[in-house]
Amino acid sequence: MDRPLIELPRLFDVRLNAIEKIGENLDKLKLEGPVALLSGKKTYQIAGKKVQQVLEDHHREVHTFTVCDDSIETANEAIEFFKEINAFFAVGVGGGKVIDVAKYASHEFNIPFVSVPTAASHDGIASARASLKGVDIKGSFPAKAPIMVVGDIETLAKAPKRFTISGCADIISNKTAIMDWELSQRITGEHMSSYASTLSEISAISMIEAREEIAKDPIKGAYHVFKGLITSSMAMCIQGSSRPASGAEHLISHSLDQILKKPALHGEQVGLMSIFTMFLHGGNWKEIRETLEIIGAPTTAQQIGASAEELIQAISIAQSIRPDRYTILSTGVTEKAIVNALVKTGIIDKEEL
């Protein structure tokens, strides 16, 4: 059987003021030539400007590109920008939108990519997948795993606490993603990588064990969550897909993105929905709910701005978003069963129906 090619980052720098060491680390990786620095308007001021200064101090030719959204159109504009400046490598400084555009564009242009997240809010910081908006909906696309990941803990700790909490909730949802994967292996015979699944589950367990510290200490919290996000990303790199960290809870989140006028953060939605899917699996949903409560993440539909009707609708159509990915929802969960699970777990109240 052909074994998949596994691309992993070659260097991680996770510490206080890691941005100041980018130039030295690029020397270690022998990355030279024109640099395409991608950032958002806000994130450029937060960290992008500093990254540019450090790169220029290390005699790098830096060209900046502002990422306004996470659309395929913007990603294609970035590719054209790479061509114009003859970019040798790209550096993405920002949140999920910037990182996804940078990793996808660098993959298509076939140049190395450096990931410099400004918030520990999702596990795409080091994965080889990009979540981008197409004409109508958001989809997952093949991308390039970063050659280097810079986790500047000081920068990450200064981000709104909600982002770190979201990242933590995203990792916790790995527990139910793995259960969906195991279910698919039993029912459909889908191949399951023990290495990838173990890494993914370990990252989730580490969040539960560190939940008190994550809730109380911004610096230690950012450090714990960022390490967990890296581990989760590595699991996806090893598998070559998002399977180790994406199950029914993620499909429901994608569905909510389409239904809600103002969706919550990705991690908030998948964390909440992992309570629901864990209940369907017959697992320890109370542990997930308790952990989310301790770190300050949403545990009710109301807290993510969704009505009971909207959430029920999102769950009902979620599997149709990606029918090829077998999950607990593929077993044919009725509306009555959905309502029962949501009420019993406290995600919605009977009076809301």
pTM summary value: 0.90
Alpha-carbon distance of 306 to 314, in angstroms, equals 10
- CB proximity list for 333: less than 8 A, separation 6 or greater: 280, 315
Which residues touch 120 (CB under 8 Å, ≥6 apart)? 151, 156, 159, 163, 164, 167, 222, 225, 226, 229
Q: d(Cα 138, Cα 148) in Å, to the nearest integer?
A: 26
Position 138 confidence tier, pLDDT thresholds 50, 70, 90: low
Distance of CA 69 to the CA centre of its chain: 16
Q: For residue 118, give the 3-state DSSP assignment.
A: coil
In sequence order, the 6+-apart residues with CB closer than 8 A to the CB of 47 are 19, 39, 93, 94, 116, 118, 152, 155
Residues in the chain: 353
Distance of CA 144 to the CA centre of its chain: 15
**Closest among 23, 155, 39 to 99, alpha carbons compared:** 39
Residue 200 is predicted with a pLDDT of 97
User: Would you state the pLDDT for residue 125?
Assistant: 84
Please name the amino acid found at residue 224: H
**The pLDDT of residue 258 is above 60:** yes
* pLDDT at res. 137: 56
287 vs 346: CA distance, rounded Å? 13
Who's near 254: CB < 8 A, 6+ residues apart?
137, 138, 318, 321, 322
State the average pLDDT over residues 173-198.
97
- CB burial of 211-225 (b: ≥16 within 10 Å; e: otherwise) equals beebbeebeebbbbb
What is the per-residue burial (b if ≥16 Cβ within 10 Å, else e) of 275-295? bbbbbbbeeebeebbebbeeb
pLDDT in tens, 266-320: 999 999 999 999 999 999 999 999 999 999 999 999 999 999 999 999 999 999 9
Burial (Cβ within 10 Å: 0-12, 13-18, ≥19) of residue 316 = middle
Count Cα neighbours of 21 within 13 Å in the Cβ-side half-sphere: 17
Q: What are the tokens at 32?
A: 């030279």
Residue 144 in this model has a pLDDT that exceeds 90? no
- The mean pLDDT value of the chain amounts to 93
pLDDT at 154 over 80: yes
Q: Is residue 273 classed exposed, middle or buried when 0-12, 13-18 and 19+ CB atoms within 10 A define those classes?
A: buried
Name the β-bridge partners of 152. 15
Which domains does the chain show, CATH number per domain? 11-158 (3.40.50.1970), 161-352 (1.20.1090.10)
**pLDDT band, residue 1 (cuts 50/70/90):** very low
Of 53, 43, 113, 125, the residue nearest 78 (C-alpha): 113
d(CA 274, CA 175): 8
Q: Strand 148-152 vs strand 113-117: parallel, antiparallel, or unpaired?
A: parallel
d(CA 315, CA 15): 39
Predicted local distance difference test score (pLDDT) of residue 18: 96
Q: Which of 218, 118, 226, 208 is nearest to 161 (CA)?
A: 218
Q: What is the pLDDT of residue 5?
A: 74
